[in-house]
């Protein structure tokens, strides 16, 4: 269950890669970075294809690693909000050059973007 990872590491990049390895982790960080705060279901919708299990698991690990803060409201129905911690914000900043490089690479190899789930047209909530 990915017990608290704490090295040993070869170097800083190794240590950083450790906390972001997981299929959806950087995307969760990205999502939180751009929305400031997100609820569980919002994250789920923002990450088309993620399963509940993986989303929870990644969120828990990110929380454990001190990158994400989880705020539970004592309400019914339940309400939980996630946001980046100071360290999470710093990580995101450190990831930006990598994002730029990746965008350039996508252009080079002609990679497609993942199809964005079209907002359901019919069936609007009344």
Q: Which two tokens stand for residue 122?
A: 């019919």
Options 17, 56, 90, 114; binder of DNA; rule CB under 7 A: 56
Asked if 69 interacts with DNA (CB under 7 A), we say: no
Contact predicate 59/28, CB 8 Å: yes
Asked if 51 interacts with its own copies (CB under 8 A), we say: no
Site residues for its own copies, window 92-121 (CB under 8 A)? 93-106, 108-115
Contact predicate 43/30, CB 8 Å: no
Residue 39's DSSP bridge partners are: 81
Torsion angle (degrees, nearest 10) of CA 107, 109, 22, 59: 20
CA pair distance 61, 29, nearest whole angstrom = 12
Q: Binding partner of residue 13 among DNA, its own copies, none, CB under 5 to 8 Å per kind?
A: its own copies
Asked if 22 interacts with DNA (CB under 7 A), we say: yes
Residue ranges in contact with its own copies by CB under 8 A:
6-17, 19-21, 26-27, 30, 87, 90-91, 93-106, 108-115
Residue ranges in contact with DNA by CB under 7 A:
2, 21-24, 39-42, 49-54, 56, 59, 70, 77-80
């Amino acid at each position: 269950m990915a017990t608290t990872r704490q090295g040993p590491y070869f170097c800083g990049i190794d240590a950083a890669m450790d906390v972001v390895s997981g299929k959806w982790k950087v995307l969760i960080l990205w999502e939180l970075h751009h929305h400031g705060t997100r609820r569980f279901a919002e994250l789920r919708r923002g990450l088309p294809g993620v399963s509940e299990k993986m989303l929870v698991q990644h969120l828990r690990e990110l929380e454990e690693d001190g990158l994400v803060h989880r705020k539970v409201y004592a309400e019914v129905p339940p309400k939980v909000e996630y946001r980046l911690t100071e360290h999470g914000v710093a990580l995101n900043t450190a990831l930006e050059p990598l994002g730029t490089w990746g965008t350039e690479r996508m252009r080079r190899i002609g990679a497609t973007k993942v199809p964005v789930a079209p907002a359901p047209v019919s069936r609007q909530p009344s």
